[in-house]
Homo-oligomer: A and B are copies of this chain.
Amino acid sequence: MKEISKKNTPKWKSELHDIIYEADTPKGKIFDILLIITIIISIVLVMLESVESIDKKYHDLLNISEWVITILFTIEYFARIICIKKPSTYIFSFYGIIDFLATIPKYVSIFLVGSHALVALRALRLLRVFRILKLARYLGASIGLMTALKASRIKISVFLFSVIVLTIILGTIMYLVEGPANGFTSIPRSMYWAIVTLTTVGYGDIAPHTPFGQFIASLVMILGYGIIAVPTGIVTAEITRVDQKKSAINTQHCSNCSADNHLDTSKYCHKCGEKLKNE
């Protein structure tokens, strides 16, 4: 099917397609590696530019480098559109949108030169970091992890919902107990404190000062300490299950003695020596 469709397109297009979209061919591999390096350089450039002292010294160099990378990304973007049969499948795909959002801000910054507006545009430019998400494409090993996380999706949602409800309750209680004088100036701010405490982050920018507030805070901490066990338990149970499915011991029974617990590699029953049928 795929072979046929390739015959209808010009040879250079199908070759370009192989380089850009395929990761198994030698040329495709080189392209992917170069792309990843370019993305990393691009991210480092944005990071360096955000450091004031570096930006002052090397502003022009950074600007030119960013323009070079932006143009390379533009070429890549159009190449992806040209060599694919149905461009819309790429353009409106998750990575198509990310590629677009990673390329456009630099161009927009030419026409709009207002200093204030530029700051806002830089916000969009920084979204270029999302490009690195592309790397996830090349990592197949994450599937097992994803399966486990997806399977525990509902349980984790219930857990997160409980945490939110808890945060609202704890936030309001602490707002009333400690009050604006001790830094708990509003319920949302108290809720922020509750999350900082429940998750055991504990910045210390807001901390209870009254003995009763400290007592409640202690309860919140022990609670947070305890409930951290819940998502861990959910994910662990799920990963264990996913692993066990793949595991070495299969479910077949010996035709002679009905014994089970045979290894995938077993050829004879470990109980009676009968030849196993999966041979």
Contacts and interface: CB of A to CB of B under 8 A. Distances in A.
Interface of A: 43, 46-47, 50-52, 122-123, 126-127, 129-130, 132-133, 135-136, 139, 141-142, 144-145, 148-149, 154-163, 165, 168-169, 172-173, 175-176, 180, 185-189, 191-192, 195-205, 207, 211, 214-215, 217-218, 221-222, 224-226, 228-241, 243, 247-249, 257-263, 265-275
Contacts of A266: 270-271
Contact of A172 (B126, B185, B214, B248): B126
Contacts of A186: 47, 50-52
Main secondary structure of the interface of A (DSSP, over half): helix
Contacts of A192: 214-215, 217-218
A36 to B, nearest CB: 12
A165 B204 CA distance: 25
A240 B160 CA distance: 20
A193 to B, nearest CB: 9
Nearest to A122: B176
Contact of A129 (B158, B169, B188): B169
B268 A270 contact: yes
Contacts of A260: 259-260
A127 B262 CA distance: 51
Contact of A161 (B51, B139, B274): B139
B123 A169 contact: no
A148 B233 contact: yes
